[in-house]
């Protein structure tokens, strides 16, 4: 693996591991990558055609693990993190200290 990037085969294996319940930090440790590299794959930024019901990762997963494939959501990862901005009133609270 070069420059901390996943190959297509590693991305498929990492996706399978995640669908089987492996923690993201364990997957990162196995492939020696930053979590952002995994989310690039799972979000569809890298390796188009890999994710989704028609994607290569899901097709392979369904063959290897037919029972588990029924409970897997192969759709693209959608970021749900929200950034909360401070209001003017919160900034005034600092003045009390």
User: What digits encode the pLDDT tens for the residues 43-87?
Assistant: 988 888 888 888 889 999 999 999 988 888 888 887 777 767 766
**Is the residue at 90 inside a domain?**
no
- For residue 91, what pLDDT is reported? 61
More confident residue, 28 or 91: 28
Residue 84 lies in a domain: no
Residue 16 lies in a domain: yes
Residue range 34-40: average pLDDT? Answer: 92
Does a structural domain hold residue 50?
Answer: yes
Mean pLDDT taken over the chain: 84
Q: 40 in a domain, yes or no?
A: yes
Residues 58, 72, 75, 27: is their CA dihedral positive or negative? negative
Quick one: pLDDT at residue 53?
80
Put simply, whether the predicted model's pTM sits higher than 0.85 gets the answer: no
- Count of the separate structural domains present in the chain: 1
Range of the domain at 18: 8-77
- Does residue 94 form part of some domain? no
């Amino acid at each position: 693996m070069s420059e901390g990037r996943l190959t297509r085969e590693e991305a498929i294996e990492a996706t399978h591991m995640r669908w089987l319940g492996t923690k993201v930090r364990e997957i990162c440790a196995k492939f020696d990558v930053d979590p952002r590299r995994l989310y690039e794959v799972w979000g569809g930024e890298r390796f188009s055609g890999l994710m989704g019901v028609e994607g290569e990762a899901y097709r392979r997963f369904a063959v290897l693990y037919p029972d588990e494939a029924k409970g897997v959501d192969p759709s693209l990862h959608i970021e749900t993190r929200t950034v909360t901005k401070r209001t003017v009133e919160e900034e005034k609270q600092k003045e009390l200290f």
